Amino acid sequence: MTSRVNDLVDDLFIRPRLEAEAKTRREADAKELAEGTKRQQEAEAKAATGEAELARMQRELKQAEHRARNARVDEAARRLAAERASKGKRALDPSELRSRAATRLSELDAARARLEGK
Q: Where are the domains of the chain?
A: 2-117
pLDDT at 79 (0 to 100):
93
Distance, C-alpha 106 to centroid of its chain? 30
* Whole-number Cα distances in Å, 82 to 19, 48, 76, 95: 94, 51, 10, 16
Query: What residues in the chain have per-residue pLDDT under 50?
Result: none
pLDDT at 50 (0 to 100):
86
pLDDT at 14 (0 to 100):
78
pLDDT at 10 (0 to 100):
73
